[in-house]
Amino acid sequence: MIGPARMRHLRALVEGTLAEGVPGHYIETGVWRGGACIFMRAILAAHQVTDRKVFVADSFAGLPRPDLGRYPADRGSALHGFSELAVPEEQVRRNFAAYGLLDAQVVFLKGLFKDTLPRLGDERFALIRLDGDMYESTMDALVHLYDRLSPGGYVVVDDYGALAGCRRAVHDFLGRRGLTPAIEPIDAAGVWWRKDQQGRSIKLVEKG
């Protein structure tokens, strides 16, 4: 579903963290059938990396109803009604297993992000990929993961260009922190930036 441009770019980012020694693991918040997470795990396998993990965070029950009391920006969202977005954890595990990639380097976090992400302990990340669609899901992921992102690590936001609530959450979060990274497009929907001391991002040369 993320398309070839976002797949090529994701590979470039993961391989970039390996080449530069950016410390930490990898996480996607909102995984659907698990494709992007499987891809990240496959990249680690291809490079024979055994000391990093891929965290698979999802409710595995679809999107929540908008909490308009806390997140009025989600008003009008009907994504909770799309049953096709509710892919059970067992199915995602089978998808990993189909590629021989279901192992101890894959960690499942089942539940809403506001409940699961605060329990990550002292885990650090080299890349965080946000695909929660809604304002609430995007904000919760940024609040609980951004400080865990290593300097030189990457943020990818899948639906920034497609969903207004997601985009607003990104800018609200950055504004509250006084952060001004150069948000770069991947394609019409996805964007990324790199966390460093100056809040800048860099251009990547992607492999074909």
For residue 9, the domain's CATH number is 3.40.50.150
Tell whether the torsion through CA atoms of 125, 118, 163 and 95 is positive or negative. positive
pLDDT digit string (tens) for 49-92?
Answer: 999 999 999 998 866 776 777 776 666 665 665 556 668 999 99
The answer to whether residue 38 sits within a structural domain is yes
- Residue 115: inside a domain, yes or no? yes
Residue with tokens 């999802």: 58
- State the pTM of this model: 0.89
- Report the chain's mean pLDDT, rounded to a whole number: 88
Q: In this structure, is residue 108 part of a structural domain?
A: yes
- Asked if the structure places residue 18 within a domain, the reply is yes
Domain assignment present for 97: yes
Give the whole-angstrom CA distance, residue 168 versus residue 141. 14
Give domain status of residue 70, yes or no: no
Q: Which domain holds residue 34?
A: 3-64+77-194
pLDDT at 196: 83
Residue-wise pLDDT tens digits, 2-51: 789 999 999 999 999 999 999 999 999 999 899 999 999 999 999 999 99
Pure H helices in the chain: 3-20, 35-46, 89-98, 113-116, 135-145, 164-177
Q: Is residue 206 part of a domain?
A: no
Site of tokens 């990993």: 96
Task: Count up the domains in the chain and report the number.
Answer: 1
Q: Establish if 146 belongs to a structural domain.
A: yes
